[in-house]
Structure 1
Amino acid sequence: MFSNALKPLALLAVMLFSGFALANGGEIAPQAGNEADVVWQAIQQGAEGRTTSLSEHHPQLINSYDLGLLDLRNNWLSYGMFAALFGMIAVFIAFIAINGISKLSNGFSGKMVFRWSKTDVFLHWLAAVPCLLLILTGLVLLSGKFLIEPVFGTSAFAGMAGVSKLVHDYMAIPFMLGWIIISIKWAKNQIPAKYDIDWFMVVGGYINFGPFKGKHPHAGFANAGEKLFFWAFVLFGLVISVSGVILLFPNLVEPSRSLSMLALIAHGLAAIVLCAFSIVHIFMATVMSEGGVDCMVSGYCDENWAIQHHDLWFDEIKANGELKYMDK
């Protein structure tokens, strides 16, 4: 261990040695001033050293050309994730306070119509529960250093980040499993149709004032909003899954430094978009639509709910003799 008197000399020796090692053939010209500035300038200019590693960019000490992407993550994505989660929640709270929820025009019928199988209900929660945990832990990992640590302190944030990283890594597997099965199994009911345009024109009939009040647009098994969320889930879930595999298994995928950074940025961007869509989906299913949450709890929906929100689907199963009620 160096004494205080020897520390400056040791530091100077290290800097001089590093300067010679990075010189790349002795091209670094001597400069006046602090030797550390000379070394750092050389590194920024791409000076290389020697190593036994055979990986990409092995002689380069820093990856200076990806610093812009790092700034994008820190200065924009970290706040974007926070805004996507809490911003959308705030918007919906304000909307419900002004507009109210979408009630059933004829009330509950008491007759429950079969809509989702037990397998479908299980698949929904297989993706939904990990998705929620990934959003919350992702918020800590992406935004925590800038938005949580200043409030709760370094020690508290370190503990939250450690738990979040563990949960995030393990929840990625069931999320990807649910994503791939749902994307394939449910796609047939999510094909866009002409009447979906009319659904958007009246905002799905959820507005309780003005010319939109009392409008109940036509919809099949899935309405236009559900279709939009499904395809957003498929597309951005793909980006999240592919980039997540690169980040989870770097030794298997063997990415370059740039690919790893691009995966990190793509992962964050896709997560922000899917987070915003997920908040909309959750509010529409649980709060905005009276009786809507029953579908993914029991697999059955009230008959009046089916007629009001998915009339074309209800007419189809009734005409085909596929209408099935829950046994009492």
Structure 2
Amino acid sequence: MNMLKTIRAHLASVLVLFALTLAGIMPAVHTASAQTNGEVPGQALGLNSDADLWRFIRNGNAGDTQMKDQLAAVMIQSEGDNWRAARNGPVSVYGAAGVLGIIVLLAVFYSWRGRITIDAGPSGKTIERFGTIDRFAHWLMAGSFVILALTGLNLLYGRYTLLPLLGPEAFTAITIAGKYAHNYLAFAFMAGLALSFVLWVRHNIPSKIDLDWLKAGGGIFTKGVHPPARKFNAGQKIIFWVVMLGGLSVSLSGIALLFPFQTAMFAKTFGLLNMIGFDLPTTLTMLQEQQLNQLWHGIVSLVLMTIIVAHIYIGSVGMEGALDAMNSGKVDRNWAKEHHGLWVKEVDAATKAAKAKPAE
């Protein structure tokens, strides 16, 4: 009898525990079932389904956060996928193709044309082409640009090229040093750019003579051909305006990257473009602005690098006597007559007039 009572008591206890367990499980089962059916319990975000919830998040909408950085309220920023795909895809691929392509093209051109020499031979007499302030402006801009280019290329391609060769420690040290150099030498580049513009803009206004120079290919492709040119020929004028406009653009995007989340240049630029028929978005978040700044900065920089490589070639190994213009500031008179004949006549006329003027 006692044994029977004991068994009944145990069974009763088991039944009670089972009932309590079942009572606790049912809400969880109901909740899981509700979520499986696409309903969010309590509709805390005012949404009816998981699909709406994730659509809300994937669209980059911000929730609530107690952090000071309001960007932390955005769980998923889908434009970041597009930015990464563009940076690691077309920008990197076409940028490398452009820089490497111009180097290969110039090597082929040099093997065919050789160094462009002074047809009449050096005269032994010189004429001043650039003064001290001109050369200072040029080397300030050019020297800082070279360092900016190298450090920028490292940021874009270094992990694929230098990291396997140098190892993580050396690569990290070089990259950190390069980052600081890039940030601070940017201001030297801007100063050189502004000074060069003030000094040379009056010499780089396009004229009809430039058309003749372009028709003759600048005399670069044919020996003995020397189209007329003043102090800056058509090719140099093209370089000047590309560097000025491109340098200004890359400087503005660089400032936006140095001081993040402070500017809305792309939204304003898109608004202006929409006034002439474009249909571009003007409601951009600060993070979208930064992503567009970074892409534009990389694209313009790579275009400038490609063009400047050609400029460096023709101003050094590609042409005899050209480098003297920015080294000593004085060039051989025969070189000047062949490449800037009209300018030489202007200088000689001015010198003759100055000598003929009686002293007061």
State TM-score, norm by structure 2: 0.74
> Structure 1 CA distance, aligned partners of 2:193 and 2:352?
28
Change (3 A) 1:115 1:308: same
Superposition deviation, residue 163 in structure 1? 2.3
> Structure 2 CA distance, aligned partners of 1:25 and 1:249?
34
Query: Which moves more between the two structures, 58-67 or 186-195?
Result: 58-67
Residue equivalent to 1:34 = none
> Structure 2 CA distance, aligned partners of 1:91 and 1:57?
46
User: Pick from 300, 309, 320: which aligns with 2:330?
Assistant: 300
> Structure 1 CA distance, aligned partners of 2:171 and 2:53?
34
User: Pick from 140, 152, 173: which aligns with 1:159?
Assistant: 173
User: Pick from 149, 158, 161: which aligns with 1:144?
Assistant: 158
Task: Tell me the secondary structure at the aligned position of residue 113 of structure 1.
Answer: strand
The residue correspondences of 1:201-220 to structure 2 (distance < 5 A) are 201-207=215-221, 212-220=222-230
Please report the RMSD computed on the Cα atoms of aligned residues, expressed in angstroms.
2.8
> Structure 1 CA distance, aligned partners of 2:44 and 2:290?
27
User: Pick from 292, 307, 315: which aligns with 1:262?
Assistant: 292
Contact 1:89 1:279 in 2 (8 A): yes
User: Pick from 101, 105, 112: which aligns with 2:119?
Assistant: 105
Give 1:135's aligned amino acid. Answer: A
Q: Does 1:229 align with 2:239?
A: yes
Q: Does 1:173 align with 2:187?
A: yes
The residue correspondences of 1:41-120 to structure 2 (distance < 5 A) are 43-46=57-60, 48-52=62-66, 59-120=73-134
> Structure 2 CA distance, aligned partners of 1:201 and 1:125?
31
User: Pick from 17, 22, 45: which aligns with 1:25?
Assistant: 45
Return the index of the structure with the highest Cα Rg: 2
Contact 1:24 1:48 in 2 (8 A): no
Give 1:235's aligned amino acid. Answer: L
Q: Any idea what the Cα deviations from partners look like across 1:1-26, whole Å, max 9, x if unmatched?
A: xxxxxxxxxxxxxxxxxxx9xx8615
> Structure 2 CA distance, aligned partners of 1:140 and 1:316?
46
Superposition deviation, residue 112 in structure 1? 1.1
> Structure 1 CA distance, aligned partners of 2:242 and 2:161?
27
> Structure 1 CA distance, aligned partners of 2:121 and 2:44?
79
Q: Any idea what the Cα deviations from partners look like across 1:143-192, whole Å, max 9, x if unmatched?
A: 22344445655444433322221211121110011111212221000111
Residue equivalent to 2:136 = 122
Contact 1:126 1:178 in 2 (8 A): yes
User: Pick from 251, 262, 265: which aligns with 1:241?
Assistant: 251
Contact 2:47 2:53 in 1 (8 A): no
Contact 1:43 1:62 in 2 (8 A): yes
> Structure 2 CA distance, aligned partners of 1:261 and 1:191?
35
Change (3 A) 1:158 1:186: same
Residue equivalent to 2:312 = 282
Contact 1:294 1:301 in 2 (8 A): yes
> Structure 2 CA distance, aligned partners of 1:301 and 1:223?
16
- Structure 1: 5+ residue stretches without partners: 1-19, 32-37
Contact 2:115 2:319 in 1 (8 A): yes
Superposition deviation, residue 81 in structure 1? 3.3
State TM-score, norm by structure 1: 0.81
The residue correspondences of 1:185-204 to structure 2 (distance < 5 A) are 185-204=199-218
Give 2:126's aligned amino acid. Answer: M
Task: Tell me the secondary structure at the aligned position of residue 183 of structure 2.
Answer: helix
Aligned residues: 294
Task: Tell me the secondary structure at the aligned position of residue 290 of structure 1.
Answer: coil
> Structure 1 CA distance, aligned partners of 2:44 and 2:168?
40
Residue equivalent to 2:10 = none
Change (3 A) 1:61 1:24: farther
Superposition deviation, residue 253 in structure 1? 4.5
